[in-house]
Amino acid sequence: MAILVIGGTGFVGKRVIKRLADSGENPICFDIFPQASDFSDVGKDIKVVQGDMTCIEDLIDALKRYSVEKIIHLAVQRQGLHSAMRISALGTNCVFEAARLTGVKRILFASSVAFHGPQSFFGEKPVTENDYGFPSITYGAIKWMNEFMAKEYNKYYGMEIIAVRIALVYGTGHRGGLSWANVIVTLPAIGKPVAIPCRSNQKACLIHVEDVAEIFTRLIRKTELSYDVYHTGGDMCTLEEMAKIVKEFIPDAHISFEETAEELPFAYLVDNSRLRNEIRFQPRSLRDGISQVINTIRGEETQT
């Protein structure tokens, strides 16, 4: 099955492409920066298409040329108000429209728990997919808009556009975004101190990047899905608790916090029972994820 992965050279995208290829699918990488692609470890030739998703002609050309049946849309722009609107809002809508024009029904796209806004809006109750969104940052507001438009396309054009609300992602090879979720692990692993711009008692729902890739792969390959929105879920803890896990593996890790920081604009009590029932998958524990990140970094250092 030909699956177009938009943002295929990115943090999650590379891993999704590898999983799809390993599963016998035919992934096509669509990215504005194809030079960032390296699929040498996949074991098969991966088609890479340079294209701008804000240009609907680029998308239509790729969808037609490779007879694409499904789309995984992972591209995002968080920095800069105008850039974020142009790429993450307009670009996402171009993906929906290009799919409609070429007859592609199923699109899986990356949304975020930023859709819901801060946990304080809900109290200390688990947030479900049916809970309303109260985004407090541009990124969350754009995800709210993406999801609204997805429902409109599903309603009026009979499409199957599905949002996956991702928790805060950590892992190796991250190029941007909410970097502290990575550096709290990756910098101590190479012997460097790290200052986290959040309170030590700030709670967060965290998920390993490999688990995110596995979720997208399972959902896109499943013949029928029951819902149009899924929470990835993850492991919830305070950042101080996360730091303590890091120090179990790296006792001399120096991790500091900013105790006057404001509340993070992300829900952290996230119910993912819908996803667990749909694909029988539960993300790994934070301890296991941190151990994997540290072992990967130390292994890379040993090889250099």
Question: Which residues, in sequence order, are bridge partners of residue 166?
Answer: 112
pLDDT at 38: 79
Buried b vs exposed e over 132-150: b needs ≥16 C-beta within 10 Å? ebbbbbbbbbbbbbbbebb
Q: Which amino acid is at 115?
A: F
In a domain, 226, yes or no: yes
Asked if 151 and 111 touch (Cβ cutoff 8 Å), the reply is no
Q: Which residues, 6 or more positions from 157, have their beta carbon under 8 angstroms from its beta carbon?
A: 100
How many domains would you assign to the chain? 1
- The residue range of the domain holding 79 is 2-171+206-234+265-284
pLDDT at 174: 67
CA–CA distance, 58 with 142 (Å, rounded to integer) = 22
In a domain, 145, yes or no: yes
pLDDT at 215: 98
Sign of CA dihedral 64, 65, 71, 75: negative
In a domain, 200, yes or no: no
CA–CA distance, 247 with 300 (Å, rounded to integer) = 20
In a domain, 246, yes or no: no
Strand order in the sheet with 47-50: 47-50, 26-31, 2-6, 70-73, 106-112, 160-166, 229-231
As given in the structure block, the two tokens for residue 130 are 């049916």
As given in the structure block, the two tokens for residue 250 are 């790296």
What are the 10-residue block averages of pLDDT along the chain, 304 residues in total? 95 95 96 82 86 96 98 88 90 98 98 97 96 95 97 98 97 67 90 94 96 98 97 97 96 96 96 97 95 88 50
As given in the structure block, the two tokens for residue 240 are 């101080």
End-to-end CA distance of the chain: 38
In a domain, 112, yes or no: yes
Q: Residue 162: helix, strand or coil by DSSP?
A: strand
Backbone angles phi, psi at 90, to 5 degrees: -65, -45
Helices and strands: H and E segment counts in the chain: 10, 12
Question: Which residues, in sequence order, are bridge partners of residue 205?
Answer: 236
Backbone angles phi, psi at 127, to 5 degrees: -90, 130
The pTM for the full model equals 0.95
In a domain, 51, yes or no: yes
In a domain, 257, yes or no: no
pLDDT at 304: 46
**CATH code, domain carrying 88:** 3.40.50.720
Asked if 142 and 128 touch (Cβ cutoff 8 Å), the reply is no
In a domain, 157, yes or no: yes
Task: Read off the DSSP letter of residue 66.
Answer: T
pLDDT at 300: 66
